[in-house]
Amino acid sequence: MSEQEIKVPDLGGADEVEVIEIIVSEGDSVEEEDPILTVESDKASVELPAPTAGKITRITVKVGDKVKEGDVIGLLVASDGAGGSGDAGDDEPAEKDGEKADEQSEAAPEDAPPAPKKKKSGGARTEVVKVPSLDGFDDVPVIEINVSEGDSVGEEDPLVTVESDKATMEIPSPFAGKIGKILVKEGDKLSEGSDLLEMTIEDDGDDEEGSVDSSDSARAESPESKPAPKERKQESAPQPQGSTYEPPSPGTKVHAGPAVRKLARELGADLTRVKGSGPKGRIIKDDVHAYVKSQLQQAQQGTGVATGSGIPGVKLPDFSQFGEVEREGMSRMMAATAANMQRSWLNVPHVTQFDDADITEMEDFRKAQKAAGEKRGVKMTPLPFLLKACAAALAELPQFNVSLDMERKEVVRKKYIHIGIAVDTPHGLMVPVIRDVDQKGLWELAAESAELAQKARDKKLKPAEMQGACFTITSLGGIGGTAFTPIVNTPEVAILGVSKAAMKPVWDGKAFQPRLMLPLSLSYDHRAVNGADAARFTNLLTQLLGDIRTLLL
């Protein structure tokens, strides 16, 4: 197990770059290609990856140092004992580096971007600015648009920022001029030659003909006169961007490298809220950690200090002082359910409306279907009736079939009726969704709900089968209870809780009659639904369930 040098690999043409962040510490174990440190030129930041898996024994540079290709940045003991060039991210033997760099620089002119297309417009000319060479990267997502239509920009001002999994690059403006139509949006994937935006350039006499021929283009793209983005290429192959990639909120500038963005995504930290302490306000990993730590501390301070949502956190005592305890990690499902419940509970002003439906006749009818159900191999429980009644109520009172978009101050009205059913399973609560409930018959609903409930218990539900609900029914009727206050499954705006039906004496005007009463608990989002509508909703449900013939109307 010999110690080997970690060297700066080919930087794709950049001479000297500045170390802006040291990502690992001495003693850290790294995998091959794990980022070791981040360097930055005036156009791009790049992470230098570990050349091989192993243990970092020394880091020989510090933040602010300038490094160039071939410089030693640290030492590492390879975990497999294998040697290697020691060049970060370079699989080639060390002696070949020089050749490689030469090849790279010779090849550079061919990397020039294609000629921009020109359009004449009065005294000014309009150019379609295209994406120049991205040093071998294709399909690189746009993470930031740095300009808006109508902005005046100088030559070399950044137009858009793109980010591969290894590098963040700003594509600079090839000209001074005015931004016209922007032809890309955040999240779009760009390759060399993609149209970026239109720019209007005032003729200033230098450009005699007012039109640009290929020599103009060549000049525009020549490294001496116009900037092509000099992305500092990594020798290691880029890895595909995960599907969890989310661009930051539009309009907010974030200066951070790929590893920092990845860390922030993993920790759920919003980089637009993190203050950068690196050069030029750049966000470094320590900033993200410090931000997350401060958020957690706030959340854990049980008294006084409010969390980001304004709610004081709950401070846990040391339970072992009261007796024996055991700690167990939450399952992913439990953690996800807990987060969803809390999010709904904190975001939604809940009110619960109670009512009882007289299901005496419905139960007679349901029981009369037993033989038919056996023939079909389907058990008719109260649930299909509840689904049908809720679908009818959602159609009649469409203010329950909405979601609120508070950011845009819009109400989203749904023209479909999909209903979720809460299913109790040994591994936690799951909510499969029955689509187009209004268009299905009782038997179909009975069969589908039984099938989905079974799939839930067997952990066989597909994600698509748990999405798209407008409303949820949670039935504890098979278990017991007289009423409860379910939590709205936001962004839905209402949920119906059903408790156990019980025989009750009901006054018919002359005498008490024994009637089978089904307790209903409708929780709703009071921002979307008012109390009178909630009373109308449960009223309608009691009518529909009280006389199921009305479900046919």
Binding site for ligand COA (CB under 6 A): 381-383, 421-424, 429, 453, 474-478, 498, 500-501, 518
* Neighbouring-strand partners of residue 30: 54
Complex with ligand COA: residue 167 or 518, whichever CB lies closer:
518
CB of 408 to ligand COA, least distance (A): 30
CB of 330 to ligand COA, least distance (A): 17
CA distances from 239 to 87, 165, 187, 236, 437 (A): 19, 6, 17, 9, 43
**Per-residue tokens: 181:** 């139509």
Q: Which long-range contacts (CB under 8 A, 24 or more apart) does 117-124 make?
A: 118/211, 118/212, 119/198, 120/210, 120/211, 121/200, 123/202, 123/203, 123/210, 124/177, 124/178, 124/200, 124/201, 124/202, 124/203
Complex with ligand COA: residue 382 or 546, whichever CB lies closer:
382
Question: Could you tell me if 112 and 130 are in contact, meaning their C-beta atoms sit under 8 angstroms apart?
Answer: no
CB of 426 to ligand COA, least distance (A): 11
Collapsing DSSP to helix, strand or coil, 77 comes out as strand
Question: Could you tell me if 240 and 140 are in contact, meaning their C-beta atoms sit under 8 angstroms apart?
Answer: no
CB of 381 to ligand COA, least distance (A): 3
CB of 111 to ligand COA, least distance (A): 59
Complex with ligand COA: residue 180 or 477, whichever CB lies closer:
477
* Neighbouring-strand partners of residue 473: 421, 496
Other beta carbons less than 10 A from residue 209's beta carbon: 9
CA distance 260 to 31: 17
CA distance 263 to 245: 12
Query: Pick from 173, 229, 257, 218: which is nearest to 12 by CA?
Result: 229
Residue for token pair 């061919």: 110
Q: With the C-alpha atoms ordered 133, 135, 141, 145, is the resulting torsion angle positive or negative?
A: negative
CB of 345 to ligand COA, least distance (A): 12
Complex with ligand COA: residue 160 or 389, whichever CB lies closer:
389
Output the 3-class SS for 93-146. CHHHHHHHHHHHHHHHHHHCCCCCEEEEECCEEEEEEECCCCCCCCCEEEEEEC
CA distance 39 to 257: 9
Complex with ligand COA: residue 481 or 505, whichever CB lies closer:
481
CB of 393 to ligand COA, least distance (A): 17
Complex with ligand COA: residue 284 or 387, whichever CB lies closer:
387
Catalytic pick from 255, 289, 418, 526?
Answer: 526
List the Cα angle 326/330/332 in 5-degree steps: 165
Complex with ligand COA: residue 263 or 520, whichever CB lies closer:
520
Query: Pick from 358, 431, 439: which is nearest to 391 by CA?
Result: 439
CB within 8 A of 481, min separation 6: which ones? 499, 500, 519
Q: How does DSSP classify residue 256?
A: B
Complex with ligand COA: residue 423 or 442, whichever CB lies closer:
423
List the Cα angle 382/494/478 in 5-degree steps: 25
CB of 502 to ligand COA, least distance (A): 8
Work out the burial of residue 391: count CB atoms within 10 Å of its CB; fewer than 13 is exposed, 13-18 middle, 19 or more buried: buried
CA distance 471 to 408: 22
Complex with ligand COA: residue 158 or 420, whichever CB lies closer:
420
**Per-residue tokens: 533:** 């509508």
- Has 289 been annotated as catalytic? no
CB of 467 to ligand COA, least distance (A): 18
Q: Which residue is nearest to ligand COA (CB)?
A: 477
Active site residues: 526
